[in-house]
Structure formats: C-alpha cells, structure tokens
Amino acid sequence: MTSTPSIPALQLYTVREQIAADRKGVLARVAGFGYGAVEPFNILSDPEGLRDDLAAAGLAAESGVPILFVTSTRVPLATAAVLAGLRRPSIYVIDPAAVGAHTLAVLARYGPVTAIPGASAAVERADPVANSIAVARFTDGTFGWGIREPGHGLVFANVARPLDAPAGALLSATGDYGPLLLLEAASGLPQALAGYLGDIQPAYTPAPQFRPVRGVYNHGWLLGDERAISALTQAEIDSLLEISPRRQSSEEPSVSPAE
C-alpha cells in the first residue's frame, strides 16, 4: 500500500488526450503542480514505458493489494505462489478465528501476519457483514481504511451477489475511496451495519461552527438494482448517510448567536 501524498493522486484518465500527445511532458507538469502520485489508466498498452516516465517525473502510481484465499486447514498452492513472489509481504488476515492457528502459522512463513478481528471470535461463525465492517474500521497506521468518523465514500453490495464486488472495484480505488460493506439480503439493513453507519453519521448542532453547510458528508454507492438492494433498504442507507442534527452536550462550550 502506498503512502498517502499531501495532495490527492491525479487520475491520469482526466488528461488522457494530453498524455497521448506527450506523456513525459504531461507527467513532468503534473509533478510540477505538487502531485506526488497518480492513478494510471490503460496500463497494459505500455507498462515499461509508463513505469520509466513516472520514475523520471518522480511520481508514484497508486496500487491496491491482492485479496488471496486460504482455508482453515491449508494455504492453497496458488496463494502460496503469490505470497512467495511478493518476497516477505505484510499479510493481513480477515477473521483469524475462522482461518485457524495452523493456517496462520503457515502464512507467517511468507511474511509478518496482522490479524483483523472479525465476527467468528464473538459468535463462532463466519459473518460477512461484520467482517466487512471490521475491514472498514481497521488501520495500523500504514494499511487499512481506518474509517471511524464521517466524511467518506462507502460501497454497498448484497452478499448473495459476489460478482457485484469486482464489478464495483473501481469505486474502491478511484475518486472518493470507499470500503465494501455487505448486506445479508435485498430487504432489511443488518443491525451491525446500521450501528456502524450510525457511528460515522455526519451531524451538526445550532452552534455556528457546526452548521450543516460546514459539515462533512458521507457518500454511498449501491451495487445492483432493487433486486440487490430494495428501495426501502436504499432509503434506510440514505437516511444514515445524510447529515443530521445532534443535541449539543453539556461538555461543549455554549456559543452566542452570530451577529
């Protein structure tokens, strides 16, 4: 995972016509504007050339991390091959209680392992909804979304439609970055997910410095139509994403009306 630059990464797709005419020159100008990283597009057409031009301009290309699969009894050969090729990568395990001690020990041979606690530790069963929330909350300072406050993008999908996730992967890698949150069915918002959205819901008070126009907002993308997420559930999600009034606590300083 790349470090976060002081200025957000520029999406090169927005200057695709200029890049087609003079890629080196455009990248040099982008770096001159203060950008430290870019989000590439059309990588496969000339990967080596793009790599060299980015290096010459002093720009980093933002990239994601692979999602690999294991079982509670073994690390599949395909997963082991990827880990070996990455040469001691940092490995993050979702729901280690479900993965099991044996598999965790095998993974540790390939690199340092960090556990992202999931649902199994509490309820003794796999819970995709709770696991997706755990991933959204998690950060160790260098990796992870770490979303514990308002002002973020969020992607919603039905757990029964797994192919919607890769179709919407770009929403978690470009624009307003956002983790994938799961629903158990088209109808009804899971209690755990409703609680998480409530925790990070934007709010405002009558105080001038906390008026709605100065508030931050969450942004949600819903993958699929009403067969994936019903209209009523969409409305529930929308109500938990929008900014809402909050009663001023006694610990907050009172503010006199603005003149």
pLDDT tens for each residue of 154-213: 999 999 998 888 877 766 555 556 889 999 999 999 999 999 999 998 887 666 655 655
Domain for residue 233, yes or no? yes
CA distance 25 to 53: 9
pTM comes to 0.70
Domain for residue 230, yes or no? yes
Mean pLDDT over 213-242 rounds to 88
CA distance 134 to 96: 12
Question: Across all residues in the chain, what is the average pLDDT?
Answer: 82
220 and 103 in a common domain: no
What pLDDT shows up at residue 5? 35
Residue 101 has pLDDT above 90, yes or no: yes
Higher per-residue confidence, 178 vs 4: 178
Q: How many Cβ atoms from other residues are within 10 Å of residue 245's Cβ? A: 11
Domain limits for position 78:
65-126
Task: Please say which residue of 91, 109, 126 terminates a domain.
Answer: 126
173 and 103 in a common domain: no
182 and 72 in a common domain: no
238 and 117 in a common domain: no
20 and 40 in a common domain: yes
pLDDT category, 59, cuts 50, 70, 90?
confident
258 and 156 in a common domain: yes
pLDDT tens for each residue of 38-47: 878 777 788 8
256 and 141 in a common domain: yes
Residue 126 has pLDDT above 80, yes or no: no
Contact of 83 with 106, CB cutoff 8 Å: no
132 and 110 in a common domain: no
145 and 103 in a common domain: no
